[in-house]
Amino acid sequence: MMPAHQGDSGELRRNEPMSQHVSWRAGGRARQFYRPRHREDFLEFLHARPAQESLFLLGLGSNLLVREGGIDATVVQMHGALKEVKWEEGCLRIEAGVPAPKVARLAARAGCSGAEFLAGIPGTMGGVLAMNAGCYGAEIWNFVCQVETVDRQGVLRWRTPGDYDIGYRSVRLREECRLGPEEWFLSVLLHFPEGDAETARTRIRSLLAQRVADQPLEFPNAGSVFRNPAGGYAARLIEGCGLKGKRIGGAEVSLKHANFIVNRGQATATDIEILIAEIQSRILAEKGVCLHPEVRIVGERA
């Protein structure tokens, strides 16, 4: 990894190992990697990029697999830059780089209910919004009032949930609402109903205890690998095919939770991707169900 630029405008690195920035602790390198210092720095950086330069926005890397060939783009790490949280007219305004568990704690402290599920999501709000993340029966877009976006040209917009097609782990801007290039989430206004602070804190503790009991947090992982199929659970299908403990190199189907693939040490992104494909093949052949990854797989094969 080679620093290319550093100063008040943040830090730009070349040939950055993405294994240091994704929760699987595996994967290739990014051609360039930028850490903005704050929101204004990010917007200035965006304005300064050549039109042909590819950009990839990154949160905590908790739902991401970067292939061994790396990413031929400039990766921009939003965590640490877009981190402002404040109350606005009964809503919580949260920038895209804020970790979801922090939002759960803030909402509980303010006596709100409904945000407790965010304590179990190890990602930033930008990623949470982009995939309509959820757990324990709740999804983030159930609480969204408005989102602030920015496009490739630096144009800022406020949008409502009605501008998007929102589904299970899926959020897409409606075609009739597209006004230009790709848009990214900068911040969100969330409204949570009134509740009891102690009740919310108790539920957060309960959900975190359940997460520790159910998930293989002792090994690097990226959370649930597959979306649950309609009317069923990916973990049950994988376990039903006898795939718990299945290993490819250093990658293993968790013995604790079959919808998790863990890095038992020295797993490569290729090991993980091959294991994902083998699970899909077995489930389709034996159960007739096509499992779709919940994790995002990016980059070039080695």
**Residue in 95, 139, 252, 294 annotated catalytic:** 294
Give dist(CA 131, CA 141) in Å, integer: 10
The yes-or-no answer on residue 224 being catalytic is yes
- Pair 16, 61: CB distance under 8 Å: no
Q: Is 169 a catalytic residue?
A: yes
Q: What does the buried/exposed string (b/e) look like for 150-170 if buried means 16 or more CB atoms within 10 Å of the residue's CB?
A: bbbeeeeeebeeebbebeebe
Choose, from 23, 62, 224, 254, the residue flagged as catalytic.
224
Q: Which strands make up the sheet holding 247-248, listed edge to edge?
A: 247-248, 251-253, 261-263
Q: Is 286 a catalytic residue?
A: no
Distance CA 187, CA 83 (A): 9
Residue 301 CB coordination number (10 Å): 10
Residues with Cβ < 8 Å from 6, sequence gap 6 or more? Answer: 12
The catalytic position among 31, 49, 93, 169 is 169
Pairing outcome for strands 85-88 and 261-263: unpaired
Spell out the residues 6+ positions from residue 92 whose beta carbon is closer than 8 angstroms to its own: 85, 86, 103, 106, 107, 110, 112, 189, 190, 191, 192
Four-point Cα dihedral 234, 240, 242, 244, nearest 10? 40
Q: With the CA atoms of 214, 220, 223 and 227 taken in that order, what torsion angle do they form, in degrees rounded to the nearest 10?
A: -110
- Residues labelled as active-site residues: 169, 224, 294
